Amino acid sequence: MPLPKTTAAPTAPAKAKADVLVVGLTSAHDELALADGAPGGAPGTALLAAARAVGAAAAVGSAQRIPSPAGLAAGSVVLAGIGADDADTAESTVFGADRLERLRRAAGSATRALTKGESAALALPARTAEEAEAVTVGALLGAYRYVQYRSGGDADKGPAALTVLAPKAAAPGVERGTVMAAATAGARDWVNEPPLDLYPESFAAAVTQRAKDLKVKATVLDDRQLAAQGYGGLTGVGRGSERGPRLVKLEYAPRRARAHLALVGKGITFDSGGLSLKPAASMEEMKSDMGGAAAAAQALFAIAELGLPVRVTAWLALAENMPGGGAQRPSDVIRIYGGKTVEVTNTDAEGRLVLADALVAAQEDKPDLIVDIATLTGAQIVALGDRVSGVMGTAEARNRIVLASELSGEQMWPMPFPEEIRAGFDSTVADLKNAGPRAGGMLAAGIFLSEFVADGQQWAHVDIAGPSFNSHSGWGYTPAAGTGVPVRTLVETAAALSRG
């Protein structure tokens, strides 16, 4: 379902003609108050009295709908909590407690609560372009619905149109926010699509079509070309499926680019575990194992649409990991692109194999920074939970990604590479094996990937196993199922590189 049309308007909130007016609630010293951007005068006084009467809260994520008091043009009001006025500190936080993230979550909670196709005007704090962008991103992502496979007419429609009430000077923030939200929603769509319909070939075709729309160059290697050119990771993982692997390279190369960013995305369109078969219950969400590739592609598209002066290449390593008659076996030895050999001791540790191929290929273009993105390990969820991605790699690159995540509101945490873990990948028959120690599994997977990154190459590995797919109910601007993490962080990374 397309995101609702979104515009900016300097209209006074009391005069905004919409089905629903979204107003922020805050508090100071435990006293409920209307946030900046809310109606003033008699309508504002009546609105605050109504909010207190129904027990509305300023807590971030709360949303309560009430009839409009006299003096408002909108038919009803959603009271959206944005937290206490004194909630911000001098220090920012990777856990999303800053003011802009609270605005995103407030706007998203409000639009996620709208289910009847109404129009909504957002009278939330949007005085600056940064605030307007945050409100826009949150509202649009909260409005997201995946209804492509619904056959009935009772589907949740979400809001039909959004207006961000902001001064003209802040309008560019609405435009940028619309691009960021659309890219994130595009990644969600791909993650949510059933694997019957999204497989390596069809995924590559969808990416290629989108690239044409934006005049981004797309190159696709099919299974025969991959085998002929020595991409042993992709070829090995894809052997068990009737639907062969693909490697997609996207290229955005503006004139006077100030840096070169390479994105490498894991794109396992369905992961059964191969012959090292997963338990049945562990497969239910394995259509989401291509979330890294979806994020890499959509981030590049957003960067191109925003016209950022940075060259970006994206490498999407696409395969379906199935236990067919031709599937690779535990104890097989494969040769990764570039020459290193790997003993496959666990066919369910397949993502690192396809990423290794793509990482080596990405370095041939000599980028300034490589970021790989992958739903790589269950250990990431054990270590950091469902909402916080782990970031590893060279210190400078790792810290750059974490700083970008603070701007985007996507929660990330820097993780180390303990040197003693590397010995767990020693093999008696190959350069290394693909399954290392169980303890510190997230770190171990990153250490395996580091074997395919040249000395001196700036590189970050982002494990999004938990944050890419929400197995619980929606919250803030995050729905159930695909989340689109970390599209916005990747775009912020490119923006920082473009500034030098």
CA–CA dist 97, 99 (Å, integer): 7
Q: What is the DSSP-derived secondary structure letter of residue 164?
A: E
In 29-87, beta strands by DSSP E:
31-34, 63-67, 76-84
With 0-12 / 13-18 / 19 or more C-beta atoms within 10 angstroms meaning exposed / middle / buried, residue 215 is exposed
User: 3-state DSSP call for residue 385?
Assistant: coil
CA–CA dist 314, 156 (Å, integer): 34
CA–CA dist 189, 193 (Å, integer): 6
CA–CA dist 143, 180 (Å, integer): 14
Structure tokens at 456: 């001196």
* Catalytic, out of 278, 335, 340, 422: 278
Q: Among the residues of 246-337, which ranges form H helices?
A: 291-306
For 341, phi then psi, to 5°, come to: -105, 145
Structure tokens at 23: 């107003």
Nearest to 450 by CA among 396, 377, 372, 335: 372
Residue with tokens 């054990």: 382
Contact yes or no for 266/374 (Cβ under 8 A): yes
* Catalytic, out of 112, 243, 246, 352: 352
| Residue 203 to residues 2, 208, 255, 317, Cα–Cα distance (Å) | 19, 9, 29, 11
CA–CA dist 207, 248 (Å, integer): 8
Nearest to 371 by CA among 353, 338, 393: 393
For 327, phi then psi, to 5°, come to: -65, 150
Give the CA count within 13 Å in the CB-facing half-sphere of 1: 19
Catalytic (active site) residue 278:
yes
User: 3-state DSSP call for residue 332?
Assistant: coil
Nearest to 143 by CA among 176, 177, 166, 102: 177
Q: Among the residues of 367-411, which ranges form H helices?
A: 378-384, 395-408
Q: What is the DSSP-derived secondary structure letter of residue 240?
A: T
Which active-site residues does the annotation give? 278, 352
